[in-house]
């Protein structure tokens, strides 16, 4: 019961949320109808707040309701169950919520729980009222997902669009050179030659030469490419699995 007391001790009327404070700035960058981006504000005075016990994935948490650990799932959000985007969402949600309490609201026409037994909720951090579901979407840690229409759908859609245009989180462009450099062949190559080529940006600027059938990449003046080498970036050569020529030893001076 101590935990509950800790949470219910934080019964404050909602003040302006941090989201609201950010709105003018956001509007300046990305013109949006103000109404479209207006997050709901509820008065949670006299409602219980529940302690967040842990964050399982970015959109699934365990909270203590009536001292019973209860799994909840955030309405309208999709976070993959594993992978880098999943890890990022979990870390973000943990920073927002671990050691905090949340108020919850339910979607009127939805079932109480999903098929795995998680309660469908909208969660609002106590005492500042941060709309957690929306914050995940707004910061690009979650995409919109819903089993059916939900009350705040158009609001979520508007914020998802802003996140997508700002290339936040899951909307960031994939760095293909960096992805290629994590492949085993490129790693072995890198380990053997830990000189100037640890910087993916540099790999994209350095030019090497490959031949039609060869598996090596070369310097411009190498004897193997004098009769028809193809110019290519070092990053692209690595991505295709080419390894450095032992004769000319690229990257080249």
Applying CB under 5 A, which residues contact Zn ion?
A: 218, 222, 224, 245, 247-248
Closest separation between CB of residue 226 and Zn ion, Å?
10
According to DSSP, residue 71 is labeled E
CB atoms near residue 15 (< 10 Å): 11
Minimum CB distance to Zn ion smaller for 90 or for 238: 238
Minimum separation from the CB atom of position 246 to Zn ion (A): 8
CB of 249 to Zn ion, least distance (A): 8
Rounded CA-CA distance 147/160 in Å is 17
**In the complex, minimum distance from the CB of residue 243 to Zn ion, in angstroms, rounded to a whole number:** 11
Nearer to Zn ion, 94 or 211 (CB): 211
Residue showing the smallest CB distance to Zn ion in the complex = 245
Distances (CA, A) of 101 to 70, 104, 109, 123: 13, 10, 25, 9
Q: Which residues contact 85 (CB under 8 A, 6 or more apart)?
A: 79, 141, 169, 170
Contacts of residue 98, Cβ cutoff 8 Å, sequence gap at least 6: 52, 54, 55
| Complex with Zn ion: residue 60 or 238, whichever CB lies closer | 238
Quick one: how far is CA 29 from the chain centroid?
A: 21
- For Zn ion, the closer CB: 152 or 218: 218
Q: Decide: helix, strand or coil at residue 78.
A: strand
Token pair for 219: 């310097």
Smallest separation, CB 202 to Zn ion (Å):
20
Question: Cβ closer to Zn ion: 61 or 252?
Answer: 252
Q: Which is nearer to Zn ion, 234 or 245 (CB)?
A: 245
Task: Output the DSSP codes for 192-240.
Answer: H--SS---HHHHHH-EEEE-SS-SEEE-TT-GGGTTT-EEEEHHHHHHT
Backbone angle region of 94, left / alpha / beta, with phi > 0 → left and psi within -120 to 50 → alpha: alpha
Q: How far is the CB of 244 from Zn ion (least distance, A)?
A: 8
């Amino acid at each position: 019961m101590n935990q509950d007391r800790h949470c219910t001790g934080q019964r404050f009327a909602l003040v302006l949320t941090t989201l609201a404070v950010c709105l003018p700035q956001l509007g300046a960058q990305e013109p949006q109808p103000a109404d479209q981006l207006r997050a709901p504000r509820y008065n949670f005075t006299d409602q219980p707040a529940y302690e967040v016990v842990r964050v399982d994935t970015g959109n699934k948490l365990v909270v203590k309701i009536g001292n019973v650990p209860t799994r909840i799932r955030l309405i309208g959000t999709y976070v993959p169950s594993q992978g880098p985007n999943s890890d990022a969402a979990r870390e973000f949600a943990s920073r927002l919520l671990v050691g905090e309490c949340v108020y919850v609201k339910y979607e009127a026409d939805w079932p109480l729980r999903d098929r795995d037994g998680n309660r469908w909720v909208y969660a609002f951090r106590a005492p500042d009222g941060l709309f957690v579901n929306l914050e995940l979407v707004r910061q690009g840690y979650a995409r919109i997902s819903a089993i059916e229409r939900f009350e705040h759908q158009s609001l979520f859609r508007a914020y998802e669009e802003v996140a997508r245009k700002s290339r936040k989180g899951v909307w960031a462009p994939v760095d293909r050179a960096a992805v290629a450099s994590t492949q085993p062949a490129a790693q072995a190559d890198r380990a053997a030659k830990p000189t100037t080529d640890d910087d993916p940006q540099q790999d994209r600027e350095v030019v090497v030469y490959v031949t039609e059938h060869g598996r090596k990449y070369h310097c411009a003046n190498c004897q193997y490419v004098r009769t028809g080498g193809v110019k290519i970036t070092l990053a692209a050569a690595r991505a295709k699995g080419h390894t450095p020529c032992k004769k000319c030893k690229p990257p080249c001076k």
